[in-house]
């Protein structure tokens, strides 16, 4: 195999890419390094290494932001919402994909229209509904709101389910399995790639959601990590030695989650391209 020559054009392109990379890396470096410095060191030497490094900033941040309580709130809302999205989204998509009736065709179109409507345009009626149901400032209310991700799940699942051969389901029916058992034992295991992709994207969306949390969850005891960061901006905006570790602690769970699941993200998207 013949190697390509290293030309001046290649050098210029690599230099440009390194400059673009620095644009993203330098702020991240500044954020992480500042968490190990005192307030005076951050101001005097923003990009310098911490000499000596200190972990007191993280200790203060954990106490101030009630990290473990807020982490538990975010975990509860995210995990329950994602489970509901997967369960109800897959079941609804299975019914729409397999039952060729006018009602199911209408429901498929109805969910498509609902997915096209931005949530920002429905905030006022949504607030009135939440208030009527007494779901404001409740865990159940936030789970109810975030479970609307079922609509997107239905659209993705429906396309995947249509690629599953009907022969497998007919064999299960002949063996005495009902529709519910056939779906969970035969169909659902075959659509694991898109399930993994849906779980990953919904976890990242719900965990990082600010708009719905800001509008419908005002209690500090029930606040998520993202809301706690927002609350801390007004209280500790001038204390960089405290705000920097707060930001790192809020970002760390999703960064770790993404690094652990990035192979499944790529695999799910690739599978989706093949299925489509």
Percent of the chain with pLDDT over 90: 7
d(CA 45, CA 234): 24
Instruction: Find all residues with CB under 8 Å of 141, minimum gap 6, and list them.
Output: 130, 133, 135, 216, 217
Return the closest-CA partner of residue 118 out of 159, 88, 148: 148
Reading the block at residue 252, the tokens are 């760390």
Torsion of CA 114, 119, 120, 126, to 10 degrees: 100
d(CA 58, CA 252): 13
Return the closest-CA partner of residue 248 out of 11, 76, 31, 16: 31
User: Is 90 exceeded by the pLDDT of residue 63?
Assistant: no
d(CA 46, CA 49): 9
- Does pTM surpass 0.85? no
Average pLDDT, integer, range 6-19: 82
User: Is 90 exceeded by the pLDDT of residue 81?
Assistant: yes
**Structure confidence at residue 272 as a pLDDT band (50, 70, 90):** very low
Q: Which CATH superfamily does the domain covering 60-275 fall into? A: MetI-like (1.10.3720.10)
Average pLDDT, integer, range 16-45: 84
Over residues 233-242, the pLDDT tens digits come to 766 667 778 8
User: How much is the pLDDT for 46?
Assistant: 78
CB 159 within 8 A of CB 275: yes
d(CA 209, CA 138): 16
- CATH 1.10.3720.10 spans which residues of the chain? 60-275
Reading the block at residue 257, the tokens are 């989650």
User: Is 90 exceeded by the pLDDT of residue 177?
Assistant: no
Count Cβ atoms below 10 Å from residue 94 Cβ, excluding itself: 24
Reading the block at residue 228, the tokens are 């706690």
Average pLDDT, integer, range 247-259: 85
Percent of the chain with pLDDT over 70: 92
CA-CA-CA-CA torsion sign (196, 199, 205, 208):
negative
Torsion of CA 67, 69, 74, 78, to 10 degrees: 140
Reading the block at residue 164, the tokens are 């599953």
């Amino acid at each position: 195999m013949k190697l390509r020559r290293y030309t001046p054009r290649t050098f210029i392109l690599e230099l440009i890419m390194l400059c673009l990379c620095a644009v993203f890396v330098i702020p991240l470096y500044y954020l992480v390094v500042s968490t190990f410095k005192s307030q005076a060191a951050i101001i005097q030497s923003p990009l310098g290494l911490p000499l000596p490094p200190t972990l007191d900033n993280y200790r203060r941040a954990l106490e101030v932001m009630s990290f473990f309580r807020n982490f538990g709130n975010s975990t509860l809302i995210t995990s329950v919402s994602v489970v509901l999205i997967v369960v109800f989204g897959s079941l609804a998509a299975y019914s729409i994909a397999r039952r060729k009736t006018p009602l199911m065709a209408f429901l498929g179109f109805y969910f498509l229209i609902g997915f096209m409507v931005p949530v920002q345009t429905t905030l006022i009626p949504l607030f009135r509904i939440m208030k009527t149901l007494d779901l404001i400032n409740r865990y159940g209310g936030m789970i109810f709101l975030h479970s609307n991700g079922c609509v997107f799940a239905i659209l993705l699942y429906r396309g995947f389910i249509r690629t599953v051969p009907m022969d497998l389901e007919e064999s299960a029916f002949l063996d005495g399995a009902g529709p519910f058992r056939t779906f969970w034992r035969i169909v659902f295991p075959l659509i694991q790639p898109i399930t993994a992709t849906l779980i990953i994207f919904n976890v990242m969306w719900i965990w990082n959601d600010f708009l719905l949390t800001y509008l419908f969850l005002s209690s500090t005891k029930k606040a998520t990590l993202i809301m706690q960061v927002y609350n801390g901006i007004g209280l500790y905006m001038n204390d960089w030695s405290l705000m920097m570790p707060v930001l790192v602690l809020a970002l760390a769970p999703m960064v770790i989650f993404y690094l652990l699941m990035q192979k499944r993200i790529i695999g799910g998207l690739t599978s989706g391209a093949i299925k489509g």
